[in-house]
Amino acid sequence: MLKLYHHPMSAASRYVRLLTGEYGEKPELVEERTWERRREFLAMNPAATLPVLIEDDGAPIVGGIVAGEYLDETRGVFSRDKRLMPEKPVERAEVRRLTEWFMEKFDAEVTRYLVRERVFKLEMPKSEGGGSPDASAIRAARTNSKHHLRYIGWLAESRNWLAGPRLTQADLAAAAALSVLDYLGEIPWESEPAAKEWYSRIKSRPSFRPLLSERVRGVPAVQHYADLDF
């Protein structure tokens, strides 16, 4: 049995939910508000980041990328053509480069600012940094976001899926990050038709459904968020 400490607005948490969904599993979800720095949570992950995955009360598996490797090693390798990693090491390196890009670089330049300013600050007490959003942080993140969307568009135009001919972990990592921003209405889809076509393909997968039906208290989703034809 899998248990996932997550937050609906954490891209790395969504990534792990998509992976488990693709492998036909449904982890028990525990919502964690990391800014509360709960003692039991810090004991599992002193970096206080999400997600943390636990299998059968075993040792914590910390972080989206690390959980992705774990799920590949314990599920992917037994899944034949449903495996979300290619066979050749050098092709795996390309999947990992892009997974890291969307989980780390995109997060550091875009997602974490938009989510912090537009969602978490509403929930956090003033003493933890809550309060009104910082307009300049939002502006900077939106500018960075355009470059990333263009890069996805370029990848989607040059390849069938982002890392090559088949669906891989890299597509789920990118889609997880974009889905958080899309919820907030932060993706100008019309400017990147190839990115939009790729996202609509991935959005219609059954693994995506639980994310599309979820709502965050106090933060309405943009109107087209759950539409498969957006």
Q: Does the footprint of a second copy cover residue 218 (CB under 8 A)? A: no
State the Cα–Cα distance between residues 155 and 9, nearest whole angstrom. Answer: 25
Q: How far is the CB of 3 from a second copy (least distance, A)?
A: 14
What are residue 42's phi and psi, to 5 degrees? Answer: -65, -30
Fill in the amino acid letter for 44: M
Q: Does the footprint of a second copy cover residue 15 (CB under 8 A)? A: no
Q: State the angle between helix axes of 11-22 and 64-74 in degrees (0 to 180), rounded to the nearest 10.
A: 10
Candidates 2-10, 13-21, 61-69, 207-215; binding stretch for a second copy (CB under 8 A): 61-69
Q: How far is the CB of 70 from a second copy (least distance, A)?
A: 5
Cβ neighbour number for residue 133 with a 10 Å cutoff: 15
Q: Does the footprint of a second copy cover residue 206 (CB under 8 A)? A: no
Say if residues 53 and 73 touch (Cβ distance below 8 Å).
no
What are residue 4's phi and psi, to 5 degrees? Answer: -125, 120
55/128 with CB nearer a second copy: 55
Candidates 16-24, 70-78, 112-120, 206-214; binding stretch for a second copy (CB under 8 A): 70-78
When binding is defined by CB under 8 A, the residue of 2, 11, 19, 61 that contacts a second copy is 61
Q: Does the footprint of a second copy cover residue 37 (CB under 8 A)? A: no
Q: State the angle between helix axes of 89-100 and 169-183 in degrees (0 to 180), rounded to the nearest 10.
A: 10
55/214 with CB nearer a second copy: 55
174 closest CA partner among 144, 143, 202, 147: 202
Q: How far is the CB of 12 from a second copy (least distance, A)?
A: 11
47/228 with CB nearer a second copy: 47
89/218 with CB nearer a second copy: 89
Structure tokens at 23: 């492998």
Burial of 17 (0-12, 13-18, 19+ CB in 10 A): buried
Say if residues 48 and 42 touch (Cβ distance below 8 Å).
yes
Q: Does the footprint of a second copy cover residue 100 (CB under 8 A)? A: yes
* Contact positions vs a second copy (CB under 8 A): 46-47, 55, 58-59, 61-63, 65-67, 69-70, 73-74, 89-90, 92-94, 96-97, 100-101, 104-105, 108, 151
